[in-house]
Structure 1
Amino acid sequence: MLVFGQGETGERLASEAERLRALLIDMERILGGAKPEAIASGEPAPILDRWFFGNRASPCLLGLSTNHPKLTGVNRPIATSDVWLLAADKTWARSLSRWYRLGRPAERSGLDA
């Protein structure tokens, strides 16, 4: 997740935008019928041996949603898709799917309150 609205964000944001742009271009090439061998021919692709699928934690937001285009209702509990951008003042967040206006943060209890 990138926090925007701070001085050092520009370089990281530009770098991540370029990575996502490259992924989108490759996805469009696959949709057009290109083979991975042709797409990756610019440089040797690394070999990943003895591989398996794993899971990594990705930041998301949990909260009560109102006016969501797909998850209808008022104060409906949801979990967003992966959060990519967060405004430094915590008023806006961009998930993989859409922008969210952020209301009040949840009240915290316990050791981290």
Structure 2
Amino acid sequence: MLSKLFPFLDLKNAEPNLPAKLRRLADDLDQLMHFSGSPGELRNAPVIDDWAVMVTPLGVQLMGFVTGHPRFGNRPVVTSPLWAADPDGRWVRTTSRYYRLGAPGDAIHDVISAVFDACRDGGSSEDK
């Protein structure tokens, strides 16, 4: 029943390398949780510019223009779901890989600025 609404839940539709991909993700998350500093893999990670956040049935994802992607080269993409993000905004870890974050898209920059301003000021006026 759920797999009819969300076909990605049916393992017949899963990528053949999904278990290995999830093991790498789990190893990376373990390392991120127990060690400080930037992941060593960032040196070769693709850069995503002009990015925006999207919330989909799969989770939180980014769309933007990627440079240096090992599979897609240089072109617009939608990432796999996000699992970790650098608090300083330098990188994200998706199900598949690390991305270095370039400049966000203009619209998302305005949204991010508004959120940071609201947090710094103790919340929006709607919260008071």
Q: What TM-score, normalized by structure 1, do the two folds share? A: 0.47
Question: RCO greater where, 1 or 2, for CA within 8 Å and sep 6 or more?
Answer: 1
Larger radius of gyration: 1
More helix by share: 2
More strand by share: 2
Q: What TM-score, normalized by structure 2, do the two folds share? A: 0.41
